[in-house]
Amino acid sequence: MTKAHVARAVAVLALAAGLTGCGGEDGTGKGGDTRARPGATPPVRAVQDAYRKTVAADTARMTVTTRVVAEGQALTAHGGGVADLRDGTSRVTLTSQGTTVEQRVVDGVVYQKPSGGRGGSVPGGKTWMKIDLARLTRQGSAGRSQVTDPAEPVRYLKHIGSGDVTRLGTRTVDGTRTTHYRVSVPVSALSRGDKGQEQELRRQLGKSSLPVDLWLDERGRLRQESVRLALRPLKQRTPGKEDTTVTSTTVLRFTDYGTAVDVTAPPAGDTADVTDRMARAAAG
């Protein structure tokens, strides 16, 4: 599997999971009124209310596992941590192919520490990379809400209509009784009004909606989300040879609602600011 395959899978997977955007439609970064629309049926109402009820729990532990397959090779990434669902503070450790990255989000700034310590991939021999999301957004790069709102994966659910939700029964997830829903999410809801992203998703997914499985507990909070994708290449990479479709499965879980979250920024002297570098890379 090439780095291009992995990068393409991760980028589109993030968008399809609802993790890309520059805040909500009301400009607050919280998506405006997230209550269920009047007249919704019980399954639809439960799904539409999931974001609001999840955020109302304040804090949680979370785990994520992603498996990407291309050219007969598989890559698996997994990790977990804690998050404040209201202000976006979080600490997560991710591991893939023997490489571990610790990520902290504090006051809208992302800090990442790859395994290997000083002298590794961090510029200037520092230990941590620093990414100022507000500055990144001002420079025209999308993505602030994708890490400052850990509950973002269910924000788009308020756009779900009456024909988009199927109740599939009950299941116990991490010792908690849940109700399983399969949701057909319109690509237009995932792209958050960005027509360019919407067109790209339609081409890569080959359809206008994405099936997502949700497990909500008895309080209506998200306990598990599963997204399966088959991503077509945007264009042929090798002349005379069809590029490989990338398939991926991502499972996100929230547990221990109300858990203590104590996350601090690393010392300034241990960080290297890579915000401008990321902005230039995003601009191509």
pLDDT at 177 over 80: yes
Query: Mind listing the pLDDT tens digit for each residue in 62-96?
Result: 998 988 888 888 888 899 999 998 888 899 998 98
pLDDT at 282 over 70: no
Q: How far apart are the first and last CA of the chain?
A: 23
The answer to which of 62-66, 214-218, 220-224 has the lowest mean pLDDT is 62-66
Query: Mind listing the pLDDT tens digit for each residue in 189-213?
Result: 766 666 776 787 777 777 778 889 9
Mean pLDDT of 262-268: 94
How far apart, in whole angstroms, are the C-alpha atoms of residue 263 and residue 257? 16
pTM assigned to the model: 0.74
Sketch the domain layout of the chain as residue ranges.
Answer: 3-283
C-alpha distances in Å from residue 12, one per residue of 135, 152, 205: 23, 15, 9
3-state SS class at 188 = helix
Q: Domain 3-283 belongs to what topology?
A: outer membrane lipoprotein receptor (LolB), chain A (2.50.20)
